[in-house]
Amino acid sequence: KKERTLAILKPDVVTKIGDFLELIYSSNLIVTKAKMSCLTCNQAADFYAEHQSKPFFNNLVQYVSSGPLVAMELMGTDAVSAWRRLLGPTDSPTRRESPQNVRSQMGAEGIKNVGHGSDSLAAAARELEFFFPSTVGLGPGNTA
């Protein structure tokens, strides 16, 4: 099924954007929107609101707002799971058991886990709207 998902390249890997584009296109996904953006702490906290109660929340917000990131809309068959499969498991121990993924290859560690991918179609819709708002007045860069 053809899907859209949000992919984020986090601050440590934005200079590797070329490698990601090659990987994305060779995986039968296409980039339909893209931008480089700096989030404020508040915007990052908004984006990750579902993790508010987690012990790593403050570090996560601090990290993703520490520099520019690249946000992309990817489109393709099963794009949501396809992009997450390319990234590999979030969790470092799980990742070490199956190192054929971008996070392993790019040295992801703890909070600095290289990239983000929406975890469901509903999350993708919400997260795409956050970075690429269809209504003026929503999302980063369009705040009042």
Q: Which residues participate in catalysis according to the annotation?
A: 116
Nearer to ligand CMP (CB atom), residue 83 or residue 135: 83
Nearest approach, Cβ of 1 to ligand CMP (angstroms)?
22
Q: Per rule CB under 6 A, is residue 107 in the interface with ligand CMP?
A: no
The answer to whether the beta carbons of residues 123 and 20 sit under 8 Å apart is no
Task: Work out the angle between the directed axes of helices 79-87 and 17-26 (0-180°, nearest 10).
Answer: 130
Number of residues that bind ligand CMP (CB under 6 A): 8
Q: Which segments within 19-68 are labelled E, that is strand?
A: 30-37
Task: Name which position in 27, 81, 90, 104 contacts ligand CMP (CB under 6 A).
Answer: 90
**Closest residue to ligand CMP: CB criterion:** 116
Q: Per rule CB under 6 A, is residue 38 in the interface with ligand CMP?
A: no
- 63 alpha-carbon distance from chain centroid: 13
The answer to whether the beta carbons of residues 37 and 68 sit under 8 Å apart is yes
